[in-house]
Amino acid sequence: MQTNQDINRSSLPKIAIYYPYFLGGGAEAVALWMLEALKDNYDLTLFTFSDVDFNKLNLMYETHLSNELIKTQTVFPKSLNHFSNFLTSNNPHFRQFSLHSVLRLIKSKRDDYDLLISAYNAVDLGKPGLQYIHWIKVVEGEKLAQKYYNKLSDFSVERLKQNISLVNSQVVQEQVSLNYNIESTVVYPPVVIQTHDIPWEEKEDAFICSGRLVRAKQPHKAIQILKAVREKGFNVKLYLTGGGGGGQQDYIRFLNKMIKENSSWVKLCKNMSYEDYTKVLYNCKYGLHYKQEPFGISVAEMVKAGVIPFVKSSGGQIEIVGKDNQDLFYKSDEDAVNAIVKVLQNQDKIIQIRQSLKLQKDLFSTDNFMSQIKRIVQQNLNRI
């Protein structure tokens, strides 16, 4: 039996959103806050590979989503969630299969919707839509994927180019132009954390390394680098805050062994609620991020929390930290150790950097992200 709410929602413009799996990370935040931005004005359907636990995701990202507000269309049944998440995390072939299986599903329903949106990179949606690009050539993949998996979804790069494209940074904007020869608009990802100015002297002499505990993020590098910093006389601690990934058991074993060997100063805080994560973040003076990112939401969280982050000298994270803060950039492990030591031993430099980072804080917020998404969707709903 239909309720009044069902009837009212069914009269709204219908939007389908493609996001194939939820295993943690910044792209996931974009998808969820896109749903948050649109949920009150549109009849939304999320197309994904396996069932979604909105309650769990709300705790992680501070969204307010539910099955009453968001319909879902899945490829796999709920009973196989754990199995599918494990395979998606650990098997690249299954991951490509999941990407294209969901794409095949949404394309089969494309005429039921007023607008199609990919929150997961550049894709062929079957007809022109919107796409938010985190990085290039993720779904179409390389030669093997193009030979086999692209046939599953009848993937066309030429149709992909017909979409309106949004990107998460200027770095990705340049790559999109070079690789797809299309224009795009930068919409910085949503950063949930609120600015909270705790006095510097009340913070702990500690670093935070946050993100998924997977090989690609290389959190073990934070341990190695800070171990070298400690050997130079700086008694710093490290908090590893992460989760997601759904597997990569060999890497997790390797990382846990390293954490255990350095347990006097390294603490693992795994799969915390967002509230608990922010408590740890606010308490740290410094951050360390190893991976070169297209954007880097965890770095933006550090900046908003008043943390001084050390990051790779190329990638989207430079836009977050600010190109003028050269003291915070490094190219190699040895370079990272030297950069950190130079800052830690110079209190005047720390004051200068903190003042400079304050100018970056307002660039990244959920309000900015949602207002831009609402405007862009409204503008393009009847044009595409």
What are the φ and ψ backbone dihedral angles of 306, each rounded to 5 degrees? 80, 20
pLDDT score recorded for residue 242: 78
Confidence check: pLDDT of 117 > 60: yes
Chain segment 188-243, per-residue pLDDT in tens: 999 988 877 789 999 999 999 998 888 888 999 999 999 999 999 999 999 999 76
Q: Per DSSP, which regions of 98-158 are E strands? A: 115-118, 130-133
pLDDT at residue number 13: 96
pLDDT of res. 144: 66
**Tens digits of residue pLDDT in 80-113:** 777 777 777 777 788 889 999 999 999 999 999 9
Q: Supply the pLDDT for residue 150.
A: 84
At residue 211, the pLDDT reads: 83
- Residue 32: in which H helix or E strand, if any? helix 26-38
- Render pLDDT for 118-157 as a digit per residue (tens, 0 to 9): 999 999 999 999 999 999 999 998 766 667 788 899 999 9
Q: What average pLDDT does the segment 38-65 reach?
A: 94
> What are 242-269's pLDDT values in tens digits?
765 555 678 889 999 999 999 999 999 9
Residue 1 in this model has a pLDDT that exceeds 70: no
The 8-class DSSP code of residue 306 comes to T
Report yes or no: 221 and 190 within 8 Å, Cβ to Cβ: no
Least confident of 161-175, 236-250, 305-319: 236-250
13 in Cβ contact with 381 (< 8 Å):
yes
Whether CATH 3.30.450.20 fits 10-190+366-380: no
- Note the CATH architecture for domain 200-363: 3-Layer(aba) Sandwich (3.40)
pLDDT at 89 (0 to 100): 74
Task: Establish how many alpha carbons lie within 13 A of residue 155's alpha carbon, considering only the half-sphere containing its beta carbon.
Answer: 25
- Give the C-alpha separation, 23 to 106, whole Å: 20
Helices (H), 39-169: 54-61, 81-90, 92-108, 143-147, 149-153, 157-160
Considering the chain, what is the average pLDDT of its residues? 91
pLDDT at 4 over 60: no
The CA-based dihedral angle spanning residues 41, 367, 167, 100, taken in that order and rounded to the nearest 10 degrees: -50
Closest by CA to 200, choosing from 306, 341, 346, 301, is 306
Residue 117 pairs with which residues in a beta bridge? 17, 130
Closest CA to 319 of 303, 342, 331: 303
Q: Is the pLDDT of residue 309 over 70?
A: yes
Domain boundaries, the chain: 10-190+366-380, 200-363
Residue type at position 351: I
| Intrachain domains 10-190+366-380 and 200-363 with the same fold | yes
Q: Helix or strand or coil: residue 383?
A: coil
Q: Taking a C-beta distance cutoff of 8 angstroms, is the pair 99, 149 a contact?
A: yes
For the chain, count helices (H), then strands (E).
17, 13
CB 34 within 8 A of CB 373: yes
Tokens of 112: 């039921």
Region 374-384 average pLDDT: 89
Residues with Cβ < 8 Å from 343, sequence gap 6 or more?
A: 308, 310, 327, 328, 349, 350, 353
d(CA 259, CA 180): 42
End-to-end CA distance of the chain: 34
Query: Which backbone phi and psi does 49 adopt, to 5 degrees?
Result: -80, -45
pLDDT over 90, % of the chain = 70
- For the residues 51-73, what does the mean pLDDT come to? 94
- Which of 142, 134, 141, 191 is closest to 168 using CA atoms? 134
146: which residues sit within 8 A by CB, 6+ positions away?
A: 140, 155
